[in-house]
Amino acid sequence: MSAIILEGVSKRFGDHLATDNIDLVIPDGQFTVFVGPSGCGKTTLLRLIAGLEDIDAGRLLIDGVDMAHTPPAARRLAMVFQSYALYPHMTVRANLGFALKVGRSPKSEIAARVETVAKMLSLDNLLDRKPAALSGGQRQRVAIGRALVRQPRAFLFDEPLSNLDAALRGQMRFEIRRLQQDLGITAVYVTHDQAEAMTMADQIVVFRDGRIEQVGTPLDIYRRPANIFVAGFIGSPQMNFLTGAYASPYGAATIGIRPEHLKIATDGILRSEVRTVEHLGNEALVHAELPDGTILTARCSEDVSTHTGEAISFSVDPARVHRFDQGERAPIH
């Protein structure tokens, strides 16, 4: 598989800079997730890598080779979309071999490659079935298998799970990730779902307005968000942000505290009043209002005993407080 390198890559649609001077290394054999709100340019960047859009400025290198004059098909990248786009009238075997047949590979070679890929993906018992007789997860595996027989250098996933219900999505995240790890595939995966990014990625790239806000491992980004945007985008429920008197003891314009780092304490410094308590079965979320009107969300154990209107105070380990100045992460001193 292959490393993909972007150097100063920009793409403009009319007046709008969809991607703005992007520098990025997508390492060989790793799972890189592009995440960010709608319209931030993540799909555009994926399409630039695939060659489905032309780059206006900058360079794209795959395996060290500039792709400027390489058409999409010759890049040997596999795109996997939301809809699996399997041929419903064909068996799994025919679906898997289709691209090779169109490419006029010899029959014996098609049969051998289909066999190998089917084994890798545990589809060997399903080769004579048609897509209608497969589960969602099996269909997704056939879609990946169909790309795999062409021996791509990398996989590009464009929100492949957004049509699925929550349970199947969770299962498919796990399956795609396991496959990627077993096969050592280089993967780029676009999603607007931060939980998907956190659970699947080796490397997360957070985008906003056509620019990269931060690149790092999921834990890096969670523990040391580069700025308020990343801090608020990654993590659910969202990080709490406090300003004014609460922030000034820390010498910051804004401080951030994750919901799991607020501890209920009789003499806690954050005195507030409970607004609502959400019981989720394995935990409870307590929403409380500070005197300045800021709403805090605290992740508590399910057996928390408090109710709307009650006074509640929280303490926080100072080492868990994030400081931000002018929106950017600042050191704790």
Residues near ligand ATP, by CB under 6 A? 13, 16, 18, 36, 38-44, 192
Closer by beta carbon to ligand ATP, 205 or else 274 = 205
| Contact (CB, 8 A) for 31 and 189 | yes
CB of residue 142 vs ligand ATP: minimum separation in angstroms?
Answer: 25
CB of residue 43 vs ligand ATP: minimum separation in angstroms?
Answer: 3
CB of residue 192 vs ligand ATP: minimum separation in angstroms?
Answer: 5
CB of residue 21 vs ligand ATP: minimum separation in angstroms?
Answer: 15
Closer by beta carbon to ligand ATP, 58 or else 268 = 58
Closer by beta carbon to ligand ATP, 192 or else 322 = 192
- Position closest to ligand ATP via CB: 43
CB of residue 207 vs ligand ATP: minimum separation in angstroms?
Answer: 7
Closer by beta carbon to ligand ATP, 211 or else 287 = 211
Closer by beta carbon to ligand ATP, 205 or else 221 = 205
Closer by beta carbon to ligand ATP, 212 or else 257 = 212
Rounded to whole angstroms, the Cα distance separating 127 from 173 reads 23
How wide is the angle at C-alpha 281 spanned by C-alphas 280 and 285, nearest 5°? 35
CB of residue 59 vs ligand ATP: minimum separation in angstroms?
Answer: 19
